[in-house]
């Protein structure tokens, strides 16, 4: 059977949407009944497709008309083309119609289109389900399309074809201007009510049989084989379904190959209703009206138990009788009748309003609900409902203006919906528990759903309240921040709708939206709940004066953009199964301050669970608190630390305020440099910046370790940075805006990895040597100006003795290199800021003029005598100290050095060679990856020798 001619949306939309009817059965044989059922559903499909064509517009019709063709062929130039010879193609029982080919050639003139047959079709059925083609379909509705594949297709071919399906889905969304989802799944799994964990519709184990029942009730066949369920008599249970279908397939001449067996519809297992109820509450956050109706259907299923047949079976009865039944009305009527029977007028009225708002149809209030529209139209149907409910023109006028409702009206309806959700869920749960039913949802899916609910409903410290507003249309054209002293002495900030001044505030209590001690918290809350938008005018009146409107409106735009990005990212199931980690961060410094230093700082961050948090710090320690309590956690946990933003107000007289300029330029660089959750192990990074109290360092030493360190003066900072340690690699970056840190910045920026850089800084009465070794360690040596050449000479003699030894070690960056190839000596010159000038030859000449001769010191391991324990030998000049001769060789060496110095002799003690075994390192120097960090060993040994 070729269903193509039944699918041409353009042609059907132009003609009558439902002129065909099911022919009466001519005999009572099962084959004749099946043929009559097939004809009835074919006519019903045509009617529903015609309705859908009228609902989705021209581009939507084009997209849906080409969908089967794009899934059927794999040709270059067409959306969905996969350049892979393994890519299968083809829909069973389908061949493109000439109208489809003409449309494809018009939209894709470069494509090569052929009408060749497909030998091995991978797709068995393509059908759209849900509210499509019903009174419940509106401009905000999406299209859910099932693409069922042959279960015999190999995993390798399915992997390739799935890429094609995703590509076609992307084109449908772009071209149609609708939200279209293609669900690719095996027919065999549908037959077993197995939609997998977090599969079709997001949580397969929470739906199961319910999802198949909805598909049979609402599905519109687009291409491929029709479901065999349509041929089985109504009200058949799964066993009867199986017997009837097996008998049909065994009938000679019956075209069983034209149908796909998706299984019968069992009574929904009660244990499945618990997970389905949770899922509908989750879905209700974005589609509250639809979910309210579906939640009512679940409660009806619980209360009716096994007595009432599934709705899809009721629909089948009416379709076989030739009715043009609307699946959405069938659902709505059943739920409304349920609550009417219970005497719950409140639930009935709420669902009536949800139904009216969900349709998107607006009756003319002036004409009254009894106005007669064209026969059978959706307007006429809705008018009959409104008349039955006793709605007058006033209620219709109020509901018709839903998109322009005031904030409090939207919030009131949302709270009413939330109470209905909670009440219905509790009754479903209590009924199931009383009957001893076991939940049929998997732990994985239950975790996913539970955390989705937590993200929107749970309360947590610093979490921004997200209101269930049931619409996005509550953005205010203007809001006002207003502060005044109350009789009790408090001076809170209040957020009003519209513009409020001291002359008008007394009469504006009806426009009050929220009260807080923090004006920034009010704006964050308003942005989170779509009250504040990018075009909202923001006015302010505070005790200290008015905040600049330009600053506030720029902040409103920044907050709105931040919230849109955060809320536009739908949490994945992997996100929800893991811990909530921050994904984006926005800091707003000194909103109420004109200070050059950070005295007031608020921070907003979004997480992978879809939550938003806000905190504020005040006073002289505001920056420290912000970094330690918020920024460090963000940089440790966030997978993308570059998502850190700083709000900078509009420029004043061509420059930003000091704290805004500093934070905007430097914190972003710090975040990108220090990294996020994927920080590499065995790497150390340190960012040095200026703060109100002096300087600070963000010190990252491991993927899970990042610390904030504050220093009051430069000496404390250098003592920390130059505590040379055994790092595989250490990188230091210094803030560019601080003049005090300019010499250190020049050192860090001019040193090269894999080399040894020495920097000479001449200051008032002293000279300082900075050394950056081959892995980025910093060391510092300070001496009086007259002793400076001698200090540099000692360092160079030490390097001459150590580097050749390190060059023999394969793990060292200096392996195979000579000192002359890796050493550079610089002079730090202050010219406005500070820069490093290479002056190697100049400094080497000064050192050679000293004629310094060192006394070499060697430490080596010795083997034990006669199999005894080994020891150490220390050679200092011509003197040798054996561990067997004295109790402690290091202590003896230390004593002799002190005696020599007291005698007035100037001994230059330099470690020129190191023979250190693991035990010596562990006892005296700590455990390190390599012996290449020579400055650390030098300092450690000299400290022990010098006492």
Model confidence pLDDT, tens digit, residues 420-431 = 988 888 888 888
Specify the pTM: 0.76
| Range 215-229 average pLDDT | 95
Please state the rounded mean pLDDT for residues 571-589.
89
Enumerate the H helices of 703-815 as residue ranges.
Answer: 714-721, 742-750, 788-806
State the burial class of residue 653 (Cβ atoms within 10 Å of its Cβ: 0-12, 13-18, 19+): exposed
Long-range CB pairs of 173-176, under 8 A, 24+ apart, other chains included: 175/59, 175/62, 175/63, 176/56, 176/59, 176/60, 176/62, 176/63, 176/64, 176/143
Q: Is 868 exposed, middle or buried (0-12, 13-18, 19+ CB in 10 A)?
A: exposed
Q: Which of 146-150, 356-360, 847-851 has the lowest mean pLDDT?
A: 847-851
Query: Among the listed ranges 446-450, 625-629, 652-656, which one has the minimum average pLDDT value?
Result: 652-656
In whole angstroms, give the CA distance from residue 42 to residue 103: 24
- The predicted structure's pLDDT at residue 809: 75
- d(C-alpha 816, C-alpha 655), whole Å: 52
pLDDT for residue 43 is more than 90? yes
The pLDDT-based confidence of 321 (bands split at 50, 70, 90) is very high
Range 435-440 average pLDDT = 68
Q: Which of 278-282, 680-684, 873-877 has the lowest mean pLDDT?
A: 873-877
Q: First vs last Cα of the chain: how many Å apart?
A: 98
pLDDT given at position 653:
47
How far apart CA 296 and CA 273 sit, in angstroms, is 12
Q: How far is CA 89 from the centre of its chain?
A: 34
Per the DSSP assignment, residues forming a β-bridge with 512 are 496
Least confident interval from 425-434, 532-541, 634-643: 425-434
**What pLDDT score was predicted for residue 650?**
74
Taking residues 327-340, report their average pLDDT: 93
- Residue 365 DSSP class: G
For the purposes of burial, counting CB atoms within 10 Å of the CB of 502, is it exposed (0-12), middle (13-18) or buried (19 or more)?
A: exposed
For residue 634, what pLDDT band results from cuts at 50, 70 and 90?
Answer: very high
Could you read off the pLDDT of 249-260 as tens digits, one per residue? 999 889 999 999
Highest mean pLDDT among 399-408, 748-757, 886-895: 748-757
Cα gap 816→805, rounded to integer Å: 10
**pLDDT tens digits for 823-867?**
999 999 887 788 999 999 988 888 888 776 666 667 676 776 655
Residue 692 in 3-state DSSP? coil
Q: How far apart are CA 101 and CA 927, in angstroms?
A: 73
Say what percent of the chain tops pLDDT 90.
37
* pLDDT attached to residue 11: 37
pLDDT of residue 200: 39
**Sorting pLDDT into bands at 50, 70 and 90, what band is 438?**
low
Least confident span in 214-223, 288-297, 428-437, 769-778 = 428-437
* pLDDT, tens digit, 9 for 90 and up, residues 914-938: 444 455 555 554 443 343 456 655 5
Q: How far apart are CA 707 and CA 628, in angstroms?
A: 8
Q: pLDDT grade, residue 320 (50/70/90)?
A: very high
User: DSSP of 1-58, one letter per residue?
Assistant: ---GGG--HHHHHHS-TT---PPPPS--SHHHHHHHHHHHHHHHHHHHHHHHHHHHHH
Euclidean distance between CA atoms 230 and 312, whole angstroms: 10
According to the model, what pLDDT value does residue 375 have? 53
pLDDT at 699: 93
Checking DSSP bridges between strand 478-483 and strand 537-541, what pairing results, if any?
parallel
- Please count the other Cβ atoms lying within 10 Å of the Cβ belonging to residue 174: 12
> Residue 694 region, left (φ>0) first, then alpha (ψ -120 to 50), else beta?
left
Say yes or no to pLDDT of 12 above 70. no
Q: CA of 703: how far to CAs of 92, 546, 583, 630, in Å?
A: 53, 45, 17, 17
What integer pLDDT is reported at residue 744 of this predicted model? 93
Q: Is 826 helix (H, G, I), strand (E, B) or coil?
A: strand
Q: Residue 187: how many CB atoms within 10 A of its CB? A: 21
Query: What's the DSSP call for residue 239?
Result: H
Buried b (16+ CB within 10 A) or exposed e, 208-244: bbbbbbbbbbbbbbbbbbbbbbbbbbbebeeeebeeb
> What is the Cα–Cα distance from 542 to 680, expressed in whole angstroms?
48
Residue 13 pLDDT class (50, 70, 90 cuts): very low
pLDDT of residue 749: 92
* % of the chain surpassing 70 pLDDT: 84
Q: What is the C-alpha separation between 803 and 818, in angstroms, rounded? A: 7
Specify the pLDDT at position 15: 39
* pLDDT (tens digit per residue) in 689-726: 988 778 999 999 888 899 999 998 888 999 899 876 66
Q: What is the pLDDT of residues 661-678, one digit of tens each?
A: 888 888 888 999 988 888
Q: Rounded CA gap, 21 and 43, in Å?
A: 6
Q: How far apart are CA 437 and CA 440, in angstroms?
A: 9
CB-CB contact of 747 with 828 (8 Å): yes
DSSP label at residue 604: E
**DSSP-derived 3-state class of residue 688:** strand
Between 538 and 832, name the one with better pLDDT.
538
Looking at the chain, how many residues does it have? 947
Q: What is the mean pLDDT of the chain?
A: 82
CB 687 within 8 A of CB 698: yes
Instruction: Characterize the bridge pairing of strands 730-734 and 684-691.
Output: parallel
* Model pLDDT for residues 754-801, shown as the tens digit of each residue: 889 999 998 877 888 899 988 888 888 887 766 777 788 878 877 877
Asked if residues 630 and 605 have their Cβ atoms less than 8 Å apart, the reply is: yes
């Amino acid at each position: 059977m070729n269903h193509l001619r039944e699918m041409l949306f353009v042609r059907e939309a132009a003609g009558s949407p439902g002129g065909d009817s099911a022919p009466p059965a001519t005999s009572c044989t099962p084959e004749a009944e099946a043929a009559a059922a097939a004809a009835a559903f074919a006519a019903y499909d045509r009617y529903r497709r015609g309705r859908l064509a009228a609902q989705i517009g021209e581009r939507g019709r084009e997209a849906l008309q080409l969908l089967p063709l794009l899934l059927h062929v794999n040709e270059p130039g067409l959306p969905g083309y996969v350049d892979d010879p393994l890519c299968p193609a083809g829909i069973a029982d389908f061949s493109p119609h000439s109208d489809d080919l003409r449309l494809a050639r018009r939209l894709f003139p470069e494509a090569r289109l052929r009408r060749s047959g497909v030998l091995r079709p991978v797709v068995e059925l393509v059908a759209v389900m849900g509210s499509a083609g019903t009174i419940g379909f509106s401009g905000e509705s999406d299209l859910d399309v099932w693409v069922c594949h042959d279960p015999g297709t190999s995993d390798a071919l399915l992997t390739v074809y799935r890429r094609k399906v995703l590509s076609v889905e992307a084109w449908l969304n772009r071209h149609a201007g609708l939200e279209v989802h293609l669900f690719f799944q095996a027919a065999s799994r549908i037959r077993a009510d197995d939609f997998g964990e977090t599969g079709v519709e997001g949580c397969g184990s929470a739906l199961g049989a319910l999802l198949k029942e909805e598909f049979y009730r609402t599905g519109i066949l687009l291409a491929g084989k029709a479901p065999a369920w349509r041929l089985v008599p109504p009200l058949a249970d799964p066993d009867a379904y199986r017997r009837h279908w097996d008998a049909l397939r065994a009938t000679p001449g019956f075209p069983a190959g034209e149908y796909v067996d998706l299984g019968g519809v069992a009574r929904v297992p009660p244990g499945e209703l618990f997970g389905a109820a949770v899922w509908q509450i989750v879905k209700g956050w974005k589609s509250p009206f639809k979910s309210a109706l579906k939640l009512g259907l679940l409660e009806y299923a619980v209360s009716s138990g096994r007595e009432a047949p599934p709705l899809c079976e009721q629909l089948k009865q009416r379709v076989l009788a030739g009715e043009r039944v609307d699946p959405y009305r069938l659902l709505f009527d059943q739920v409304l009748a349920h609550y009417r029977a219970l005497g719950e007028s409140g639930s009935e009225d709420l669902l009536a309003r949800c139904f009216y708002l969900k349709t998107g149809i607006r009756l003319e209030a002036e004409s009254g609900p009894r106005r007669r529209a064209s026969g059978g139209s959706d307007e006429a149907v809705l008018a009959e409902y409104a008349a039955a409910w006793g709605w007058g023109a006033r209620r219709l006028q109020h509901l018709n203006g839903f998109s322009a409702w005031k904030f409090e009206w939207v919030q009131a309806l949302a709270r009413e919906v939330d109470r209905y959700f909670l009440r219905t869920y509790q009754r479903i749960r209590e009924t199931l528990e009383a009957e001893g039913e076991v939940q049929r949802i998997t732990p994985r899916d239950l975790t996913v759903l539970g955390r989705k609910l937590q993200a929107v409903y749970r309360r947590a410290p610093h979490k921004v309240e997200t209101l269930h507003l049931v619409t996005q249309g509550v953005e205010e054209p203007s809001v006002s921040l207003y502060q005044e002293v109350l009789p009790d002495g408090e001076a809170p900030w209040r957020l009003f709708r519209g513009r409020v001044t001291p002359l008008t505030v007394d009469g504006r209590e009806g426009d009050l939206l929220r009260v807080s001690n923090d004006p920034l918290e009010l704006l964050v809350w308003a942005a989170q709940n779509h009250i504040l938008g990018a075009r909202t005018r923001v006015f302010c009146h505070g005790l200290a004066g008015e905040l600049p409107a330009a600053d506030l409106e720029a902040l409103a735009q920044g907050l709105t953009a931040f919230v849109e990005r955060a809320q536009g990212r739908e949490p994945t199931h992997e996100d929800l199964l893991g811990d909530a980690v921050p994904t984006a961060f926005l800091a707003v410094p000194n909103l109420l301050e004109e200070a050059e230093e950070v005295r007031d700082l608020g921070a907003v961050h979004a997480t992978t669970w879809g939550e938003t948090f806000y905190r504020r710090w005040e006073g002289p320690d505001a920056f420290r608190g912000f970094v330690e309590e918020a920024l460090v956690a963000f940089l440790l946990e966030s997978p993308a630390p570059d998502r850190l933003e700083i709000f900078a107000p509009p420029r004043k007289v061509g420059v930003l305020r000091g704290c805004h300029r500093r934070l905007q330029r430097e914190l972003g660089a710090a975040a990108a440099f220090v990294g996020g959750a994927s920080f590499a192990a065995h790497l150390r990074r340190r960012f040095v910046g200026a703060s109100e109290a002096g300087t600070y360092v963000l010190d990252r030493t491991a993927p899970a370790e990042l610390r904030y360190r504050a220093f009051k003066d430069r000496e404390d900072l250098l003592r920390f940075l130059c505590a040379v340690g055994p790092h595989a690699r250490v990188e230091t970056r210094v803030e560019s805006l601080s003049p005090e840190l300019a010499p250190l910045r020049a050192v860090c920026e001019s040193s090269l990895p894999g080399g040894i850089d020495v920097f000479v800084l001449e200051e008032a009465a002293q000279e300082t040597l900075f050394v950056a070794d081959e892995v980025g360690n910093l060391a510092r040596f300070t001496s009086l100006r007259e002793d400076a050449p001698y200090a540099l000479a000692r360092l160079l003699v030490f390097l001459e003795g150590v580097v050749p030894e390190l060059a023999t070690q394969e793990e060292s960056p200096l392996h195979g290199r000579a000192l002359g190839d890796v050493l550079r000596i610089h002079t730090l010159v202050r010219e406005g800021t500070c820069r490093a000038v290479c002056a190697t030859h100049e400094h080497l000449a000064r050192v050679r003029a000293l004629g310094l001769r060192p006394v070499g010191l060697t430490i080596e391991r010795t083997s034990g005598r006669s199999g005894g324990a080994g020891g150490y030998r220390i050679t200092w000049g011509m003197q040798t100290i054996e561990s067997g001769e004295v109790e402690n060789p290091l202590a003896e060496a230390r004593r002799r050095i002190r005696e020599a110095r007291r005698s007035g002799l100037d001994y230059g003690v330099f470690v020129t060679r190191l023979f250190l075994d693991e035990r010596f390192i562990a006892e005296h120097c700590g455990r390190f990856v390599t012996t290449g960090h020579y400055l650390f060993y030098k300092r450690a040994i000299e400290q022990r020798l010098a006492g």
